[in-house]
Structure 1
Amino acid sequence: MYATTQFYTSLTNGDFPVIVSLARHDIDLAKAALDAGATAIKTHLNAYHRATDRTFGTFEQERPFFEELAKLGCPLLVMAGQEVVPSEAEMDALHDLGFQGFNVYVDHLQPHLLKSKLRPMPALASTSTPEDLQRIAAIPGCIIEASIMTFDRYRTAMTEDDLARYKAIVDAVDVPVILPSQLALTPADARRLREIGIAAPLLGAIVTGDTAESMFKAVSGIVTA
């Protein structure tokens, strides 16, 4: 149903590709991430992003940036929205631009999104249950985003208990699990996440900052590790 891309293969074979979620729609941030060794770039639509206190617009509003981003030639992923998500036609347009996967919280997963050519990457929330996890894992071809930290934990250090929670998710399913940097992940943390079977880190503003310089430094440190 979905294309088996080089990026998806890297998630399933243990390559541990680094994904970067842009703090804002800025082409220099994306270039810095790729120059530092990131494999894929994630962007946002129809959403308020809590970690950066930033609101992202509709597909038509963000399309000029997406068209510019597509010229970089890397795998692209999109957080597709919250209560509002793209239409079927907009999902087709995203695919035509080179987007390979879409992400929404599991509670916002509308049926028409699963009809698109973009691979689904539903996200667990801090309130998600084991039943939610299994419901996502049952979606053919999916990837799971383990976005399970409460907001009060944002920017704090990863603990042994956190690592155990992440491992429990990985062990409970047979699909790739990617991990967003809600915590202040370090290169050493990245190595441990790879060891427990996380398919890829998803580095956002908490780790990367919001300048090209901070982006390059943070991403290159984790790629090297």
Structure 2
Amino acid sequence: MTLIVSLPENRLDLARTAIRAGVDVIKMHVNVDHRASGNHFTEVDSYSEVFRSIRDEFSGPLGVVPGGSFEDIKQTEMEKLINLGFSFYSIYAHHKPSWMLGLDQIEKTFAITSDYQIENIGNVKQFGITALEASIVRGEEYGTPLTFKDVLAYSKLVQSVDVPVLVPSQRKLESHDIPVLYRAGVKAVMLGAIVTGHTEESIEKAISIFREGIDSL
């Protein structure tokens, strides 16, 4: 199982903390009002130097959410992100212009919400998709504990698609949830602000706990 962190802010110090704590993948945001962290992320140029510095210090995959709506996605912004060394992008399918499927220099993932019918997703690998983010918890339920109903939904999604499924911490995941998600077939857990908090100390503590849990599988 892969351990991903979604940083609450695009900051070098937070990225360094995540690296030190043993994260496998780092994800950041641009052009997004982010519900879970409460932060507003602006255009790529605002973070270019930070992104370059993180890329220089981190050899693992770097991911990015390039926008929070269909209108936010611009080809010029994607070209900048590719040139800055991002490994993959993640975006809701209903925000994703079809031309993004033709970007060969970056891996393509997508997210679904609770409004999607899991049984209708089907095979997506033929579109060049490498992973699916299961953002299927309703906004009003963010920060509540994981339930077996959630696990069943993730398991159903794993069985319905032909790419790895990653689970973001819309629920307040605990380390004891790791073996259960693993048995459900989940290939990655992405820790966001609901679990990590916003400080270097809280991020390091959360990542370290989940790192230990994953390594003990």
Alignment of 1:21-60 (within 5 A): 21-60=6-45
Give the corresponding residue for 2:138.
150
Alignment of 1:1-225 (within 5 A): 16-73=1-58, 74-83=60-69, 84-116=71-103, 117-130=105-118, 133-134=121-122, 136=124, 138-225=126-213
Distance 1:198 1:129 in 2: 18
Look up the SS of the partner of 2:171 in the other structure: coil
CA contact (8 A) 1:124 1:132 kept: no
TM-score under structure 1 length normalisation: 0.87
Q: Name the Cα RMSD after superposition.
A: 1.6
Distance 2:123 2:100 in 1: 16
Q: Give, in angstroms, the shift of residue 142 of structure 1.
A: 2.6
CA contact (8 A) 1:106 1:132 kept: no
Distance 1:85 1:134 in 2: 27
Say if 1:131 and 1:192 are closer, same or farther in 2 by CA, change over 3 A. closer
Q: Give, in angstroms, the shift of residue 130 of structure 1.
A: 3.1
Query: Match of 2:22, as an amino acid?
Result: G
Look up the SS of the partner of 2:27 in the other structure: strand
Query: Match of 1:68, as an amino acid?
Result: S
Say if 1:130 and 1:137 are closer, same or farther in 2 by CA, change over 3 A. farther
Distance 1:57 1:172 in 2: 35
Deviates more, 1:99-108 or 1:135-144: 135-144
CA contact (8 A) 1:21 1:41 kept: yes
Q: Give, in angstroms, the shift of residue 133 of structure 1.
A: 2.2
Distance 1:138 1:125 in 2: 21
Q: Give, in angstroms, the shift of residue 118 of structure 1.
A: 1.4
Distance 1:132 1:58 in 2: 33
Q: Give, in angstroms, the shift of residue 190 of structure 1.
A: 1.5
CA contact (8 A) 1:20 1:40 kept: yes
Deviates more, 1:63-72 or 1:83-92: 83-92
Q: List gaps (5 residues or longer) in structure 2.
A: none
Look up the SS of the partner of 1:183 in the other structure: coil
Look up the SS of the partner of 2:2 in the other structure: coil
What are the superposed Cα offsets for residues 107-153 of structure 1, whole Å, 9 maximum, x if unpaired? 01112222222111110011112365237555223310000000121
Q: List gaps (5 residues or longer) in structure 1.
A: 1-15
Q: Give, in angstroms, the shift of residue 47 of structure 1.
A: 0.7
Say if 1:108 and 1:131 are closer, same or farther in 2 by CA, change over 3 A. farther
TM-score under structure 2 length normalisation: 0.90
Distance 1:134 1:51 in 2: 28
Give the corresponding residue for 1:3.
none
